[in-house]
């Protein structure tokens, strides 16, 4: 088995989140790959991102990070990103996006953000009533 993991991390509001992600994301992705017995690499990468985010939030640090990663395993490439980092490839001199930015200008991302805000407001209202 051959594999490689590459990432570019762009901190927002300092370097803490990007440093944390750079030190933990690969480990979390690989743990997910092993746990899933390679049955769904894309889902393993997604859950590696989510675990890294969850672990960072437990550290009670400020800041955030966007990133783009490339995971190559047994000749298969999985590109992924969080935030507005983007991976592109040149084909015939033309740039082709390999990832899609997570920006509120995208309809699906705007809907996801609005749903999360509504859920948060509802949770705050419930706790305020307790």
Q: How many CB atoms lie within 10 A of CB 24?
A: 16
Per-residue pLDDT of the chain (130 residues; tens, 9 = 90+): 789 999 999 988 889 999 999 999 999 999 999 888 767 888 999 999 999 999 998 998 888 888 999 999 888 889 988 887 888 889 899 998 888 766 667 676 667 556 665 655 555 555 555 5
CA 84, 45, 51, 17 dihedral sign is: negative
Q: What confidence score (pLDDT) does residue 128 get?
A: 54
pTM beyond cutoff 0.85: no
Domain ranges of the chain: 3-99, 101-130
One CATH from 1.20.120.160, 3.60.40.10, 3.40.47.10, 3.30.70.260 for 3-99:
3.60.40.10
Buried b (16+ CB within 10 A) or exposed e, 92-117: eeeeeeebebbeeeeeeeeeeeeeee
């Amino acid at each position: 088995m051959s594999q490689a993991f590459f990432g570019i991390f762009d901190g927002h509001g300092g370097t803490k989140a990007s440093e944390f992600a750079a030190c933990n994301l690969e480990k979390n992705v690989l743990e997910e790959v092993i746990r899933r017995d390679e049955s769904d690499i894309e889902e393993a990468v997604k859950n590696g991102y989510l675990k890294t985010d969850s672990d960072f939030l437990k550290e009670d640090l400020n800041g955030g990070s966007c990133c783009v990663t490339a995971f190559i395993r047994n000749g298969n490439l999985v590109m992924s990103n969080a935030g507005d980092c983007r991976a592109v490839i040149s084909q015939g001199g033309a740039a082709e996006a390999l990832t899609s930015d997570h920006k509120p200008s995208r309809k699906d991302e705007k809907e996801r953000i609005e749903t999360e805000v509504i859920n948060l407001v509802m949770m705050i209202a419930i706790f305020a009533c307790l």
